[in-house]
Amino acid sequence: MKMPFEVPEKKQIRVIINSDAKCEADDQYAIVHAMLSPRLQIKGLIGAHFGTRSATGAEDSYQEILHVLDLMGMNEKYKVVKGANHKIPNILTPVPSKGADLIIEEAMKDDPLPLFVTFQGPLTDLASAYLQEPRIANRLTAVWIGGGTYPDGDTEFNLSNDIEAAKVVFDSPIPLWQVPKNVYDMVRVGLAELAVKVRPHGEIGRYLYEYLIQHNIKNGNRPEWPKGEIWVLGDSPAVSLLLDDQVFDYDLIEAPEITPEMGYKRKLGNRKIRVYRSVDSRFILEDFYAKLELFIKFNQGEVVPGVKGGR
């Protein structure tokens, strides 16, 4: 993807995306945003499970990622593999998968560019990779969309799908950036806005919009969620924080113990993690809209000022 700007190689980063893409309708927006961001050298994508909602969650997510890439004409450009299809049985036992193998393989490469692995679902594949190869701990940074609101915590979907994996990661030395529920909920967007800013832009724009609308109707009988006219693109901070890590918007805290009830229990002396207090939803959405429009214009052969190769 060519843009009207270049990102110097030394400012680029390696990225692996771990996504429970078939669970809901926001993962796809984050995946597309990442694909269109030239700072990110995408080293692979992992289809993740989403708990008991599907007995084949990792396979479902894997197929959804392939579908999204196909709509973008990128289905042979990136490595896509399946992660574990269920949570780890306990804090000592990994669930081997091609997803965990990919994390280990990329982390152990001798590459000067830093490696970030984003998790838009449970932490199963990171915990499994670490349990199999602890040396990855100082060779990557994990960015996780998940966990309840601080300081007490609460029930949260991504955490609920593998509490034991979260325990492993929080007790490990792995550098961790956490975006808890109250923060990822900040990325609210109206369906009308998506109809104007996303739907008109090619097959992928139409799919992103219509797939989300289908989920909105499918969950129409649930009084608590969704609201009817808005959606939360809660996975998108996993991308935006790799473009700008918002250094004034997080706290460095000692990684807490995760309780069985998904609460946080203070653990003195534990290594510190980033816990974000806020994200810039305006930047997230506008950057995504702009890149999507440029991508479609360029691929349709339209004139895009400043883009090399535009007619």
pLDDT tens digit string along 226-257?
Answer: 778 999 999 999 999 999 999 999 999 999 99
Written in H, E and C, the secondary structure of 52-79 is HHCCCHHHHHHHHHHHHHHHCCCCCCCC
pTM score: 0.94
**Burial of 244: CB neighbours in 10 Å, binned 0-12, 13-18, 19+:** middle
The answer, yes or no, to whether residue 304 has pLDDT greater than 60, is no
pLDDT-based confidence at 91, cuts 50/70/90? very high
Q: Compute the distance between CA of residue 291 and CA of residue 3 in angstroms, rounded to an integer.
A: 8
Q: What is residue 9's predicted lDDT score, i.e. its pLDDT?
A: 95
Q: What is residue 309's predicted lDDT score, i.e. its pLDDT?
A: 39
**Burial of 110: CB neighbours in 10 Å, binned 0-12, 13-18, 19+:** exposed
**pLDDT greater at residue 311 or residue 259:** 259
The answer, yes or no, to whether residue 34 has pLDDT greater than 70, is yes
The answer, yes or no, to whether residue 110 has pLDDT greater than 60, is yes
Contacts of 228 (CB under 8 A, 6+ apart): 216
Contacts of 198 (CB under 8 A, 6+ apart): 205, 208, 209, 289, 292
Query: Is 298 among the domain residues?
Result: no
The answer, yes or no, to whether residue 3 has pLDDT greater than 50, is yes
Query: Is 64 among the domain residues?
Result: yes
Q: Compute the distance between CA of residue 130 and CA of residue 169 in angstroms, rounded to an integer.
A: 8
pLDDT-based confidence at 300, cuts 50/70/90? low
The residue-averaged pLDDT of 94-115 equals 98
How do residues 45-77 score in pLDDT, each as one tens digit? Answer: 999 999 998 999 999 999 999 999 999 999 889
Long-range CB contacts (within 8 A, 24+) of 3-9: 3/38, 3/291, 3/294, 3/307, 4/294, 4/304, 4/305, 4/306, 4/307, 5/38, 5/306, 6/38, 7/38, 7/39
CA trace torsion 194, 158, 34, 98 (10° rounding): -140
Q: Compute the distance between CA of residue 256 and CA of residue 272 in angstroms, rounded to an integer.
A: 9
Query: Is 293 among the domain residues?
Result: no
Number of structural domains (the chain) is 1
The residue-averaged pLDDT of 145-169 equals 98
How do residues 257-286 score in pLDDT, each as one tens digit? Answer: 999 999 999 999 999 999 999 999 999 999
Amino acid identity, position 88: I
pLDDT-based confidence at 5, cuts 50/70/90? confident
Query: Is 3 among the domain residues?
Result: no
Domain CATH number, residue 72:
3.90.245.10
The answer, yes or no, to whether residue 130 has pLDDT greater than 80, is yes
168 lies in which domain range? 12-186+234-276
Q: Return the biggest CA–CA distance within the chain.
A: 60
